[in-house]
Amino acid sequence: MSDVKEPGRADDGTMRPHSSHWGAFRAGWRNGTLVVEPHPADPDPSPILQNFPQALRHRARIATPMVRRGWLERGPGPDRMRGRDEFVSVPWDKALDLLAGELGRVRDAHGPAAIFGGSYGWSSAGRFHHAQSQVHRFLNTVLGGYVRSVNSYSAGASAVILPHVIGPMDPVAKRNVTWEQIVEHTGLCLSFGGMAVKNSAVASGGVSKHIERPSMKAAAERGCRFVLIGPLKDDLPEEARAEWLQIQPGTDTALMLGMAHTLVTERLHDTAFLAQFCVGYEKFEPYVLGQTDGQPKDAAWASAVCGVPANIIAQLARDAAGTRTLISMAHSLQRSEHGEQPVWMAVVLAAMLGQHGLPGGGFNYALGSIAHYGKRNAAVPIGSLPQGRNTVPDFIPVARISDLLLKPGQPFDYNGQERRYADIKLVYWAGGNPFHHHQDLARLRRAFQAVDTLVVHETAWTATARHADIVLPCTMTLEREDIGGSSQDDLLVAMHRLAEPYGLARDDFAIFADLAARLGKEEAFTEGRDAQGWLRHLYEKTRAAMEARGDKTLSFEEFWEAGELKLPMDEDDGGIIRAFRNDPENEPLPTPSGKIEVFSETIDGFGYADCPGHPTFIPYGDVPNGEKPLWLVANQPATRLHSQLDFGGTSENSKRRGREVMRLHPADAAARGIAEGDIVRMFNERGACLAAASLSEALMPGVVQLATGAWYDPADPAEDNPLCVHGNPNVLTRDVGTSRLAQGCTGQLTTLQVEKFTGNLPPIRAWDPPAG
């Protein structure tokens, strides 16, 4: 790192365009410091941008290729030493020779179905250097494929349930109700899990204008009433002027059933809409009325389950029937046990209200959870790296990674199919951090011990890199050129290079190109293009589409010089749901019946008790009890994207005594003798972590919150289940699927106990490079 010759390091203050998942920005060097300024058009930029300056040259970056000592000395094979061993620095040529040899061995001995390249993760903004796209293209074009993962940690349950009942996730979330419609039309917004502006800070691929806060402000000023239903008051911004209904986690379906019961018994439900646009309502109403199970789902029942007073539930139903009502639901509700149910129930409730397809009304899944939703869509395509062909049919629902590695050959259910886990020998990860995203990290460690080889491309020493056998250092976006853009943003950004690579770091593309050459497939991987060639190739897709529409376009050189290209956006037309409402005969929904499915014959036919044929309240299994009296909400962090740049300034400054801050209600703190700023131990039967306590009345009593993203930091890596001294909630969460239908991630909620930590405070080492 001593020989860095940053472009512009002359400190001339020149600001160059760049982009990130958390905003478009400009950056340049002044007095030897990287200065980052938000894009001037952004009305509400994210503080996450300020993670960059400190992160760029932080010691947590990886400087050279590294090989785990045990793997180097003993070769591939299952090994308990993963995550406990030393690393040996090796030259690039040697690292690539070793890796190419191992990839060839696994391919020849076991075939590509022995390689897991699911490689889930957000990577970085930039259409070309997107690491997950790079690794998938490499595995397809060079090795013939890999065992993949389907769906996401974000929306594991909804991605599977929504197509059965209303349509694919994209039209329900991304092309449906816009913020423009809300500002103009919405009378009542029932916001399940809120729409925290810290979450809409982020959009995969980039976002140039954060409009959520100003939109909620404008809507509220016009008279839109926001009701926040959730355990945390600050899941909606002050500007929404929301009423807060405190609800027991995991019980939203019961609340909505209580509203449905009121609608039916007071004849407020839209029978004409249900008859014309839905199927199966007649099988659902008897359940609501208690005719099928003896339990009417009335407001009193719902109240006893969810904690919201019965009169408020009933009144909410009446109010919702009397105005333009929008139901928004955070991703979080379905990232938990039976997460399919609240999503389906919200679809049905909006149907009972007759609101689907009306401007500013109906159900918009995940609105406000992320900055893609509630926007217009780009009218032209944005280039992305072609993935090649994967010849391996095997896949896992993404959050079944530990099961895959621990249960080779064993059966699992998914969306009506019985499948088997493949037998994986080699795991290749680029652009994701399973020690951030996965649950029950002690189990994940065991799972990674079972394979022959774990390969990780990383920019920094994440816990995943520390558990790898071969670690290859990669550039950050600031160290390379790329094109930033997403289909829900009107700016394509020329991401200029701001710095030389850290140490010996290389671009993922360059690494894969060299590996491909060693395996005799360079041309298949690169198609004869270098990075610049690919940027021009990807840009041309957008430019040509604009030209075909008759829009003014820029040549690649002009685009690069200007720093950005303004994209044409589509009409705000409400997408397939509006089209269906306007013309149900000719614009059927892409469901089996072509209508909204209140009852699904397909799902019913699967015979899953944990996901029956209509929305059903299924009590949570993992509920607070004597030993674990508290709920843990493990939600998204305000100060970073997931685990990315945890070592950046905004993230580090939010910690106390180096630990992640957890929040709890003053009453829960008092009962445990915990004061503001105390270090606490959070624990259950799966694991324990330390965090710094902060007392807040923004949480309901009985609920504590610890955001995700603090890097896993084992007190003693030699132990099987060490204490995490930094505050990673995934040592506590459960590794179980949402149901047999979707098998989605359930990391949002679990139960635990919290106590004041009185021992000697262990040091934080998560950001120190490992011994080697």
Ligand X SMILES: Nc1nc2c(c(=O)[nH]1)N[C@H]1C(S)=C(S)[C@@H](COP(=O)(O)OP(=O)(O)OC[C@H]3O[C@@H](n4cnc5c(=O)[nH]c(N)nc54)[C@H](O)[C@@H]3O)O[C@H]1N2
Question: Which residues are bridge partners to 494 per DSSP?
Answer: 483
Compare residues 157 and 288 and give the one whose CB is closer to Mo ion. Answer: 157
User: Do 447 and 421 form a contact (C-beta atoms < 8 A)?
Assistant: no
The listed partner (ligand X, Mo ion, none) that binds 729, CB under 5 to 8 Å by sort, is ligand X
Closest separation in Å from C-beta 571 to ligand X: 27
Based on the shown chain and the rule CB under 6 A, indicate whether residue 355 belongs to the binding site for ligand X: no
- Across 459-535, the runs of DSSP E, i.e. the strands, are 470-473, 482-484, 491-495
Query: Phi and psi of 263, rounded to 5°?
Result: -60, -45
Look at residues 313, 180, 175 and name the one whose alpha carbon lies nearest to residue 246.
313
Residues 223-262 touching ligand X, rule: CB under 6 A, are: 229-232, 235, 247, 249-250, 252
H or E stretch covering 669: helix 666-670
Based on the shown chain and the rule CB under 6 A, indicate whether residue 54 belongs to the binding site for ligand X: no
Q: Total residues at the site for ligand X (CB under 6 A)?
A: 64
Query: Nearest residue by C-beta to Mo ion?
Result: 154
User: Do 281 and 350 form a contact (C-beta atoms < 8 A)?
Assistant: no
Instruction: List contacts with Mo ion (CB under 5 A).
Output: 154
Query: Phi and psi of 362, rounded to 5°?
Result: 95, -140
The correct pick among 333, 348, 358, 463 for binding ligand X (CB under 6 A) is 333
Based on the shown chain and the rule CB under 6 A, indicate whether residue 727 belongs to the binding site for ligand X: no
Based on the shown chain and the rule CB under 6 A, indicate whether residue 722 belongs to the binding site for ligand X: no
Based on the shown chain and the rule CB under 6 A, indicate whether residue 735 belongs to the binding site for ligand X: no
The correct pick among 54, 123, 488, 651 for binding ligand X (CB under 6 A) is 123
Output b/e per residue, 205-224; b: 16+ Cβ within 10 A. bbbbbbbbbbbbbbbbeeeb
Compare residues 245 and 450 and give the one whose CB is closer to ligand X. Answer: 245
Query: Phi and psi of 244, rounded to 5°?
Result: -115, 115
The correct pick among 50, 355, 369, 487 for binding ligand X (CB under 6 A) is 369
User: Do 637 and 652 form a contact (C-beta atoms < 8 A)?
Assistant: no
> Residue 388's CB: how many other CB atoms inside 10 A?
17
Strand, helix or coil for residue 425: coil
Compare residues 196 and 451 and give the one whose CB is closer to ligand X. Answer: 196
**List 22, 29, 71, 122, catalytic entry:** 122
AA letter at 716: D
> Residue 389's CB: how many other CB atoms inside 10 A?
9
Compare residues 340 and 678 and give the one whose CB is closer to Mo ion. Answer: 340
> Is the C-alpha dihedral spanning 143, 67, 431, 447 positive or negative?
positive
Query: Phi and psi of 151, rounded to 5°?
Result: 70, -165
Based on the shown chain and the rule CB under 6 A, indicate whether residue 328 belongs to the binding site for ligand X: no
Look at residues 638, 670, 679 and name the one whose alpha carbon lies nearest to residue 763.
679
The first and second tokens of residue 408, run together, are 């080779």
Exposure on the CB side of residue 642, measured as CA atoms within 13 A: 22
Does the annotation count 120 as an active-site position? yes
Specify the stretch interacting with ligand X by CB under 6 A; choose among 102-110, 196-204, 585-593, 716-724. 196-204
Radius of gyration of the chain (CA): 26
x/- track of binding to ligand X for residues 742-761 (CB under 6 A): -----xxx------------
Task: Give the C-alpha separation, 687 to 18, whole Å.
Answer: 40
Closest separation in Å from C-beta 407 to ligand X: 21
Based on the shown chain and the rule CB under 6 A, indicate whether residue 38 belongs to the binding site for ligand X: no
Closest separation in Å from C-beta 120 to ligand X: 6
Based on the shown chain and the rule CB under 6 A, indicate whether residue 563 belongs to the binding site for ligand X: no
Residues 63-82 touching ligand X, rule: CB under 6 A, are: none
Q: Please give the angle made by the CA atoms of 276, 168 and 581, to the nearest 5 degrees.
A: 25
Compare residues 128 and 277 and give the one whose CB is closer to ligand X. Answer: 128
CB contact set of 129 (below 8 Å; sequence gap of 6+): 475, 477, 480, 482, 507, 508, 509, 531
Compare residues 27 and 545 and give the one whose CB is closer to ligand X. Answer: 27
Task: Give the C-alpha separation, 748 to 732, whole Å.
Answer: 11
Specify the stretch interacting with ligand X by CB under 6 A; choose among 197-205, 291-299, 533-541, 609-617. 197-205
The listed partner (Mo ion, ligand X, none) that binds 54, CB under 5 to 8 Å by sort, is none
Task: Give the C-alpha separation, 630 to 622, whole Å.
Answer: 11
Task: Give the C-alpha separation, 341 to 618, whole Å.
Answer: 8
Based on the shown chain and the rule CB under 6 A, indicate whether residue 641 belongs to the binding site for ligand X: yes
Closest separation in Å from C-beta 327 to ligand X: 12
x/- track of binding to ligand X for residues 691-720 (CB under 6 A): -----------------x------------
Residues 126-165 touching ligand X, rule: CB under 6 A, are: 129, 131, 153-154
CB contact set of 101 (below 8 Å; sequence gap of 6+): none
Task: Give the C-alpha separation, 319 to 327, whole Å.
Answer: 13
The correct pick among 637, 658, 687, 770 for binding ligand X (CB under 6 A) is 637
Based on the shown chain and the rule CB under 6 A, indicate whether residue 769 belongs to the binding site for ligand X: no
Exposure on the CB side of residue 38, measured as CA atoms within 13 A: 20
Closest separation in Å from C-beta 522 to ligand X: 20
H or E stretch covering 145: none
Look at residues 393, 484, 395 and name the one whose alpha carbon lies nearest to residue 26.
484
Compare residues 616 and 643 and give the one whose CB is closer to ligand X. Answer: 643
Compare residues 270 and 652 and give the one whose CB is closer to ligand X. Answer: 652
Task: Give the total residue count for the chain.
Answer: 772
Compare residues 465 and 565 and give the one whose CB is closer to ligand X. Answer: 465
The correct pick among 147, 166, 202, 288 for binding ligand X (CB under 6 A) is 202
Closest separation in Å from C-beta 606 to ligand X: 24
Q: What is the DSSP letter of 298?
A: -
Does the annotation count 608 as an active-site position? no
The correct pick among 50, 453, 616, 644 for binding ligand X (CB under 6 A) is 644
The correct pick among 201, 313, 630, 731 for binding ligand X (CB under 6 A) is 201
Q: Please give the angle made by the CA atoms of 340, 231 and 206, to the nearest 5 degrees.
A: 70
Compare residues 26 and 437 and give the one whose CB is closer to Mo ion. Answer: 437
The listed partner (ligand X, Mo ion, none) that binds 750, CB under 5 to 8 Å by sort, is none
Closest separation in Å from C-beta 689 to ligand X: 12
Closest separation in Å from C-beta 191 to ligand X: 9
Question: Which residues are bridge partners to 564 per DSSP?
Answer: 493
The listed partner (Mo ion, ligand X, none) that binds 199, CB under 5 to 8 Å by sort, is ligand X
Compare residues 154 and 208 and give the one whose CB is closer to ligand X. Answer: 154
Closest separation in Å from C-beta 654 to ligand X: 11
User: Do 617 and 741 form a contact (C-beta atoms < 8 A)?
Assistant: no
x/- track of binding to ligand X for residues 400-439 (CB under 6 A): ------------------------------xxxx--xx--
Sheet arrangement for strand 325-329 = 243-245, 225-229, 188-192, 325-329, 362-365
Compare residues 154 and 248 and give the one whose CB is closer to Mo ion. Answer: 154
**List 71, 120, 344, 767, catalytic entry:** 120
The listed partner (Mo ion, ligand X, none) that binds 474, CB under 5 to 8 Å by sort, is ligand X
By the 10 Å C-beta count (0-12 exposed, 13-18 middle, 19+ buried), 88 is classed as middle
Binding region for ligand X (CB under 6 A): 120-124, 129, 131, 153-154, 192-194, 196, 198-199, 201-202, 229-232, 235, 247, 249-250, 252, 330-333, 335-336, 369-370, 430-433, 436-437, 457-460, 462, 474, 508, 633-638, 641-644, 708, 729-730, 733, 747-749
Residue positions annotated with a catalytic role: 120, 122
